[in-house]
């Protein structure tokens, strides 16, 4: 009987260790998850050449947010913002769209003309996007907003520095959110653990693209595009939105990489298309985007 009790105690200890291990892997506690869910704000991690920084991002309806103030020195890049801003909205819709698997049963040999098949698919997607844009004119859109001010996003090298700033009286774009006072009251450094999908390694993108299609990492590049669109919209950086707008070479790259990750016959054609994209050209385009983002970062040491 005593032996059985000892075994149970050991099992319980192992279970506790497994729970601790799972918590370490997950990166944050259930209490932290509850906090971020309550305030509808998320911590994100951005890796740039200078280093790794933490900041905050939220999504709200555009009708709930005031237009950010932009320093006059940066206004040249924001003049045509309204014309380019739909790129981030279309990009976010695409990233949230569920991928259909119905193409998986198709045989590539069923298509007499590969390029025609791709063109037909693109036409259908363009029609869908046109319909969505018509709806956008009628309904409010969910858009990104960052821990930023006057066109500069704040990055912090440690969670402690981020929390210290949150608790200060500094003015920034997130203070307009109704949940901000709750975050100020409850946030602790241990809560500043970004989810895996909210970690962006921008410092690796250009080097990866220079290696050519055989070594391109779809997740790395797709996530970078999502963050760039968000920052381009929230900080009013028109060149970023233009570079990633529908039909641009970098948007074609993004579309093809998404098709590769979704599988099916679409992935077969997408891999063929990727081989036609110039690695040096795409790397140059992304280097320009990352330069624009770096210039819009205010490191808070």
- pLDDT higher than 50, residue 124: yes
pTM value is 0.72
| Number of other CB atoms surrounding residue 81 within 10 Å | 19
Q: Which residue has the tokens 């066109």?
A: 151
pLDDT at 200: 97
- pLDDT higher than 80, residue 140: yes
DSSP letters spanning 261-298:
HH-HHHHHHHHHHHTTS-HHHHHHHHHHHHHHHHHTEE
Among the listed residues 258, 250, 254, the one whose alpha carbon sits nearest the alpha carbon of residue 286: 250
- Domain ranges in the chain? 28-299
Token pair for 278:
């110039």
* Distance in angstroms (rounded) separating the CA atoms of residues 143 and 89: 7
- pLDDT higher than 90, residue 205: yes
* Distance in angstroms (rounded) separating the CA atoms of residues 221 and 213: 12
- pLDDT-based confidence at residue 136 (cuts at 50, 70, 90): low
User: For 63-120, what is each residue's pLDDT tens digit?
Assistant: 999 888 777 655 554 445 555 555 555 555 555 554 444 344 334 444 344 444 444 5
Position with higher pLDDT, 132 vs 40: 40
pLDDT at 253: 83
pLDDT at 223: 95
Cα angle 145, 151, 156; round to 5: 75
Exposed (0-12), middle (13-18) or buried (19+): which is 106, by Cβ within 10 Å?
middle
User: For 267-299, what is each residue's pLDDT tens digit?
Assistant: 544 555 565 666 678 889 999 999 999 999 999
Q: Which residue has the tokens 């769209």?
A: 97
Helix (H) or strand (E) holding 247: none
Position with higher pLDDT, 93 vs 152: 152
pLDDT at 73: 58
């Amino acid at each position: 009987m005593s032996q059985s009790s000892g075994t149970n105690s050991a099992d319980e200890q192992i279970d506790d260790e497994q729970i601790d291990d799972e918590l370490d892997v997950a990166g944050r506690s259930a209490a932290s998850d509850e906090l971020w869910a309550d305030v509808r704000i998320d911590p994100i991690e951005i890796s740039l050449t200078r280093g790794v920084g933490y900041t905050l991002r939220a999504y709200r309806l555009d009708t709930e947010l005031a237009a950010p103030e932009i320093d006059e020195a940066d206004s040249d890049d924001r003049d045509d913002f309204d014309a380019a801003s739909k790129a981030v909205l279309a990009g976010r819709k695409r990233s949230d769209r569920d991928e259909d698997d119905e193409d998986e049963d198709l045989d590539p040999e069923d298509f007499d003309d590969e390029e025609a098949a791709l063109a037909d698919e693109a036409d259908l997607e363009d029609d869908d996007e046109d319909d969505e844009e018509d709806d956008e004119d009628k309904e409010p859109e969910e858009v990104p907003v960052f821990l930023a001010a006057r066109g500069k996003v704040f990055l912090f090298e440690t969670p402690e520095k981020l929390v210290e700033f949150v608790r200060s009286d500094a003015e920034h774009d997130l203070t307009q959110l109704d949940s901000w006072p709750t975050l100020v009251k409850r946030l602790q450094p241990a809560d500043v653990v970004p989810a895996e999908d909210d970690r962006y390694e921008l410092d690796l993108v250009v080097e990866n693209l220079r290696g050519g299609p055989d070594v391109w990492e779809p997740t790395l590049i797709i996530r970078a595009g999502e963050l760039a669109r968000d920052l381009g919209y929230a900080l009013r950086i028109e060149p970023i939105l233009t570079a990633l707008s529908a039909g641009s070479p970098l948007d074609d790259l993004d579309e093809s990489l998404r098709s590769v990750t979704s599988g099916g016959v679409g992935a077969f054609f997408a891999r063929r298309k990727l081989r036609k994209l110039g690695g040096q050209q795409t790397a140059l385009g992304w280097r320009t985007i990352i330069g624009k983002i770096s210039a819009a970062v205010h490191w808070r040491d």
